[in-house]
Structure 1
Amino acid sequence: MQVRTILRILGLLVALFSVTMLPPAVLAYFYQDGGGWAFLSAFIVSLLIGFFLWYPNRLFKRDLKTREGFVIVVLFWVVLGTVGAIPFWMPDEHTLSFTDSMFESFSGLTTTGATILVGIDELPHAYRYYRQQLQWLGGMGIIVLAVAILPLLGIGGMQLYRAEIPGPVKDAKMTPRIADTAKQLWYIYLGLTIACAAAYWFAGMTPFNAIGHAFSTVAIGGFSTHDASMGYYDNPAIPMIGVLFLLIAAVNFSLHFAAFPRMHRKRVDGQTHYDWSIGSVQTYFRDPEFRALIIIQFSLMVIVVSTLLFHQQFTNTLDNIVHGIFQAVSISSTAGFTTADYTVWPVFLPMILIFASFIGGSAGSTGGGLKVVRVLLLYRQGVREMNRLIHPKGVFTVKYGKRPLPDRVVQAVWGFFAAYALLFVILMLLFIATGLDDYSAFGATAATLNNLGPGLGVVGANFTEVSMAGKWIAMLAMVFGRLEIFTLLVLFSPAFWKQ
């Protein structure tokens, strides 16, 4: 294990992250409503932490192996989550306890969106912006950004990329060089963020709120600059914009890459040449996971809206349609924005929305959950087993598109599902042991392990009533969900350390 190489990389990444404390400090100076000292102090402290991790190990530049890649990813999220809590912990009139500071930081960075804060509207702009920024940085994964920079520092990045990118197939790259892949992901991510912010602004949000909500929308995070979340705005255009960009962000970003026009740079005879590749919208519809995502989302919208209309939950028909569509997409994509208290909606809607969050977004998206492709493969494997019972001598394969998948991939999906189910039960029992009732414990586990945010029962709106022990369990669940279980679980295997 290259311990000193790992420490050197961590130091560089923490120092890089410290720069993100400066924009909130600038906002505090601009708005003159507090928070400036906390963020300037946090910048200095985090920069020093990064320096003291890097400087003694600055000469250790060795190639990373897969094992070191997994360790760095897990340590990075733990260390970064801890460093991210520093501004909340700084002594001023908005100081949080250490546990609450850690909870808010981990929830933001993992794009979970659960919160312990009340009175968000009264917080200084610096804190309100910082929470949104945490989600934006965590949405695509700061590791992916770092992969684009690490080659400049003499560090290979493929091991980090494999450990960070969600989904059952981690070897596929959009470009030959991993650094170029990371850059392309961030270009798409940044472009979507700018477009989303502009749309919110034109719909009536202030620039500050438009940027903040764009951060958490494209990240599928769910933090808002208001206690009432999207329900703060009495404008149906705003939640519909949110629906559009949540669906876009829930799609595999490699499909965006294939569909968007892009420029290529080539070196021929010592000269640089540029040409353009024209994308195609058909790229989306040729992908089985995208088709499954659209079917699931559309079906859920129909169920929720029909139920609200039948029970006349809202007096206005348009309100039933807007709230139904928005909550269906927001919860199922694991964003967790709300326009109304969906936990008091009639019949089975709260439960079906929570269960929809188990599916989540596509692999390679910013969403949480099991991922659509895994659920799709689980379904097709179930169909294959039924066919085998009917035709014992038949030969059946599980196909993804028109391509048969190796049994290894199908087994990996089943293994992930088994680990997920077991971990869910363990976490739920731990929540119950801290004093939560069964209903709330189920909601808390789903909200944190799926990186959703709002749950059921006492955690339907926030986690303020959860005990200190429960909040630490929630943080553990958030990291498990963000790293898709195995990336973290593998570190608990003795065989991993014996390699």
Structure 2
Amino acid sequence: MQNSMIIKILGLLLMVYSVTLVPPIIVALIYQDGAHWAFATALVLTLIAGLLLWYPNRHERRELKIRDGFIVVVMFWTALGLVGALPLVLEEEVPISITDAVFESFSGLTTTGATVLSGLDTMPHAILWYRQQLQWLGGMGIIVLAVAILPMLGIGGMQLYRAEMPGPTKDNKIAPRISETAKTLWLIYVALTVACAAAYKLAGMNWFDAIGHSFSTVAIGGFSTHDASIGYFDSALIEAIAIFFMFLAGANFALHFRAFRTLEVRTYFTDPEFKTYTSVLLIGVLISTGYLYWQAVYPSWTEALRYGSFMTVSIATTTGFGNADFATWPGFLPVMLILMSFIGGSAGSTGGGIKVIRFLLLLKQGVREVQRLMHPNALMPVKLNGRAISERVMSSVWGFFALYVATFVVILLLLMAFGMDQVTAFSATAATLNNLGPGLGEVAANFGQINDPQKWILTLSMLLGRLEIFTLLVILTRTFWRA
């Protein structure tokens, strides 16, 4: 373990993060509604902490090992979640406990979107901006941004990238150098954000709301600047724009890169994961719309389509925006939407959940096992686009799924042990582990009413979901520390 290098990198990353506290200060000064001192104090404290970690180790020049990458990622996301709570604790206009501040910070950075705050419409603009910005930075991952910078400082970044990026295809770089990969991902990310903000503005939002909601839309986050979320605007056009960009953000960003480079839309429809992702959403929209209209929840099929399609895409992509209270919908719909969040977005997207590619491979593996009952001696490789998937990848997918289910059960039981009812515990676990946000029962609208032990458990659940379980749990094994 290269402790000096790990501490040096952690210090550098904290110093980089401190710069991101400048925009909220500017927003506070523009709107003159306070909070600038809280952010200025948090900036200084974060910068000093980073300097204290970096300066004694500034001359270290060694390549990171795989273990070091895991440690840096876990330490940084944990430290960042704690540091990110500072402005919320320091700002007197937001009466919030340390537990609630940490919960809100981790929820933003992990793009979960579960909130303990209410009264957003009267909150200081700087705090609202900060929450949206947290999600935007967490969406693609500050680690990936840092990877684009670290090579210039003489530090290799491949181990960080492998530990941070979601999905089973982490080594499929879209550029020869890891720094170029990170830069390309961020260029696409920024371009989508700018386009989304412009579309929101043209649809009727003011610039503050447009930029803020573009941050959380492209990040698949779900935080809003209003208590009523997207429903505050009561605009079918704004909801349609949100659906479009949530859909794009839930797709693999490598596909966006290839489509842009080749200028061919066909790139998307030759990808099996994208086809499955699109099909799952379309089926969900059809079921939601049909059931809402059949049950007369909305008087016309156009209204059923409007609300059914928005909530389906929002929940299934793990964004968590709302234009209706889906928890009060009749029948199986609320549970179906929560279950769709388990599939989540594509690998290489900003979405949460198990990821579509794993879901697809699990389905194909299930079909193969059924066929083997009839032909036990036949060789039947799992294939995607005509190419056989290695057994190592299939084992990894099954291992992830088993660990995901086991983690879900443990968190569910812990929440119930601390007094949460079954429905709330199930949906809260799903909402945090899948980085979704809204749940059912007591957490349908807000997580502020649950007790502190439950909030800390769910904070850990959010981090586990963001780092896809393996990254965090691997450092708890004996093998990791013996290697």
Question: TM class, shorter-chain normalised?
Answer: over 0.9
Q: Quick one: distance in 1 between partners of 2:71 and 2:116?
A: 29
Residue by residue over 1:314-336, the C-alpha shift from the partner in whole angstroms, topping out at 9 and shown as x without a partner, is 23443221110000000000000
The answer as to whether partners of 2:93 and 2:124 remain within 8 angstroms in 1 is no
Q: Quick one: distance in 2 between partners of 1:468 and 1:200?
A: 37
Partner of 2:215: 215
Partner of 1:272: none
Q: Quick one: distance in 1 between partners of 2:257 and 2:91?
A: 44
The answer as to whether partners of 2:289 and 2:301 remain within 8 angstroms in 1 is no
User: Aligned to 1:34, what secondary structure does the other structure show?
Assistant: coil
Is residue 449 of structure 2 the alignment partner of residue 448 of structure 1?
Answer: no
Is residue 264 of structure 2 the alignment partner of residue 257 of structure 1?
Answer: no
Partner of 1:265: none
Q: Which runs of 4+ in 1 moved over 2 A?
A: 314-319
Q: 1:91 to 1:111 in 2, by over 3 A?
A: closer
Kindly provide the amino acid, as one letter, of the partner of residue 3 in structure 1.
N
Q: Quick one: distance in 1 between partners of 2:73 and 2:432?
A: 19
Partner of 1:270: none
Q: How far apart are residue 394 of structure 1 and its match?
A: 2.0
Alignment of 1:383-398 (within 5 A): 383-398=367-382
Is residue 480 of structure 2 the alignment partner of residue 480 of structure 1?
Answer: no
Q: Quick one: distance in 1 between partners of 2:7 and 2:97?
A: 28
Deviates more, 1:378-387 or 1:310-319: 310-319
Q: Quick one: distance in 2 between partners of 1:200 and 1:253?
A: 22
Partner of 1:497: 481
Alignment of 1:270-419 (within 5 A): 278-419=262-403
Q: Quick one: distance in 1 between partners of 2:179 and 2:167?
A: 19
Q: Quick one: distance in 2 between partners of 1:420 and 1:91?
A: 37
Residue by residue over 1:118-143, the C-alpha shift from the partner in whole angstroms, topping out at 9 and shown as x without a partner, is 10111000000000000000000000
Identity of paired residues, percent? Answer: 57
Is residue 97 of structure 2 the alignment partner of residue 113 of structure 1?
Answer: no
User: Aligned to 1:260, what secondary structure does the other structure show?
Assistant: helix
Partner of 1:49: 49
Partner of 2:449: 465
Runs of at least 5 residues in structure 1 that lack an aligned partner in the other structure: 262-277
Partner of 1:439: 423
Kindly provide the amino acid, as one letter, of the partner of residue 221 in structure 2.
G
Q: Quick one: distance in 1 between partners of 2:278 and 2:193?
A: 22
Q: Quick one: distance in 2 between partners of 1:407 and 1:398?
A: 9
Is residue 409 of structure 2 the alignment partner of residue 425 of structure 1?
Answer: yes
Runs of at least 5 residues in structure 2 that lack an aligned partner in the other structure: none
Q: How far apart are residue 62 of structure 1 and its match?
A: 1.2
Residue by residue over 1:135-165, the C-alpha shift from the partner in whole angstroms, topping out at 9 and shown as x without a partner, is 0000000000000000011100000011111
Q: Quick one: distance in 1 between partners of 2:195 and 2:131?
A: 20
Q: How far apart are residue 83 of structure 1 and its match?
A: 0.8
User: Aligned to 1:234, what secondary structure does the other structure show?
Assistant: coil
User: Aligned to 1:156, what secondary structure does the other structure show?
Assistant: coil
The answer as to whether partners of 2:64 and 2:159 remain within 8 angstroms in 1 is yes
Kindly provide the amino acid, as one letter, of the partner of residue 291 in structure 2.
T
Q: How far apart are residue 32 of structure 1 and its match?
A: 0.8
User: Aligned to 2:20, what secondary structure does the other structure show?
Assistant: helix
Residue by residue over 1:302-324, the C-alpha shift from the partner in whole angstroms, topping out at 9 and shown as x without a partner, is 00000111112123443221110
Q: Quick one: distance in 1 between partners of 2:300 and 2:228?
A: 20
Q: How far apart are residue 36 of structure 1 and its match?
A: 1.0
The answer as to whether partners of 2:344 and 2:434 remain within 8 angstroms in 1 is yes
User: Aligned to 1:361, what secondary structure does the other structure show?
Assistant: coil
Is residue 142 of structure 2 the alignment partner of residue 142 of structure 1?
Answer: yes
Deviates more, 1:283-292 or 1:391-400: 391-400
Q: Quick one: distance in 2 between partners of 1:372 and 1:115?
A: 26
The answer as to whether partners of 2:474 and 2:480 remain within 8 angstroms in 1 is yes
Q: Quick one: distance in 2 between partners of 1:66 and 1:16?
A: 23
Q: Quick one: distance in 1 between partners of 2:393 and 2:239?
A: 38
Q: TM-score, normalised by structure 2?
A: 0.99
Residue by residue over 1:210-235, the C-alpha shift from the partner in whole angstroms, topping out at 9 and shown as x without a partner, is 00000000000000000000110121
Q: How far apart are residue 197 of structure 1 and its match?
A: 0.3
Partner of 1:273: none
**Superposition RMSD in Å:** 0.8
Q: Quick one: distance in 2 between partners of 1:401 and 1:323?
A: 35
Q: How far apart are residue 169 of structure 1 and its match?
A: 2.0
User: Aligned to 2:144, what secondary structure does the other structure show?
Assistant: helix
Partner of 1:175: 175
The answer as to whether partners of 2:168 and 2:347 remain within 8 angstroms in 1 is yes
Is residue 44 of structure 2 the alignment partner of residue 60 of structure 1?
Answer: no
Partner of 1:98: 98
Q: Quick one: distance in 2 between partners of 1:353 and 1:151?
A: 42
Q: Quick one: distance in 2 between partners of 1:118 and 1:221?
A: 17
